[in-house]
Structure 1
Amino acid sequence: MSVEMICSAGLPKAIGPYSHGTKCGNMILTSGSIPFDPNTNEMVTEIKQATRIVLSNLLLVVEAGGGRLDTVAKVDVFVKNLDDFEAINEVYADFFGEHKPARFLVQAGDIAEGAPLEAAMIAFVAVICWSASCLA
């Protein structure tokens, strides 16, 4: 099984020698994403807005690989300040709604470019089933 690189045109260019994500079989793995606003290419530091941008940017990678919000299985989050936990939870709950992917959240000593958080997702390719057994 080969590994396919995923790049999303709507995202800022990676700041290192890596792709936005990879796909192997039906699994999609994103690289870490920090809160660069894709419209301005500037770092966002306000934690709620930064969380929203990171999750949205990661979802663009998942979608470019054939996944959807409801196929996200796990999110790893690294935060600069654990005091932001509650604000991140608020945005996270709003972003995912009733879908509750597994999550890992830990405080990190320092994050690239001085970002307030970095996150990555594991998702799966969305499967569309047209058989009668799936539609029942």
Structure 2
Amino acid sequence: MSLKVLNTEKAPGAIGPYSQGIQAGNLIFTSGQLPLNPTTGELTSDIRSATKQSLENVKNILESAGSSMDKIVKTLIFLKDMNDFAEMNEVYGSYFPTNPPARSAVQVARLPKDAIIEIEAIALV
């Protein structure tokens, strides 16, 4: 099976030794996406806007490989504060109005750049 590194200017560049995403056969694995605006580098700190930005980054990585949000089979969400779950969930739900993917959501002690959320996904091509 061949591996293909995914890289798009429509998502933030990696801030370490990793790729935005990897395509392995018919699967795509995105790295965790912080709520960073890929154009300005600005970190969003409002949970609703942050959730949207992280999901837009995931979406853009998937689209760079010819995939889409409706092909996501699993997401993992890291939250700085589980009290943000309801607001995050509302925004998240708007991206998956039917047949949402499997998902895990956990509270973590700290995220890179002190972000309030990070989202990663596994999708089909």
TM-score (norm 1): 0.89
Aligned length in residues = 125
Cα separation, 1, equivalents of 2:11 and 2:67: 17
After superposition, residues 57-96 of structure 1 pair within 5 angstroms as 57-96=57-96
Unmatched segments (≥5 aa) in structure 1: 126-136
* Superposition RMSD in Å: 0.9
Q: Give the deviation of 1:30 after TM superposition.
A: 0.2
TM-score (norm 2): 0.96
Query: One-letter code of the match for 1:121?
Result: A
Query: One-letter code of the match for 2:27?
Result: M
After superposition, residues 116-131 of structure 1 pair within 5 angstroms as 116-125=116-125
Greater than 6 Å deviation, 4+ residue runs: none
Q: Give the deviation of 1:12 after TM superposition.
A: 2.0
Query: Identity across aligned pairs (percent)?
Result: 38
Look up the SS of the partner of 2:43 in the other structure: coil
Unmatched segments (≥5 aa) in structure 2: none
After superposition, residues 104-115 of structure 1 pair within 5 angstroms as 104-115=104-115
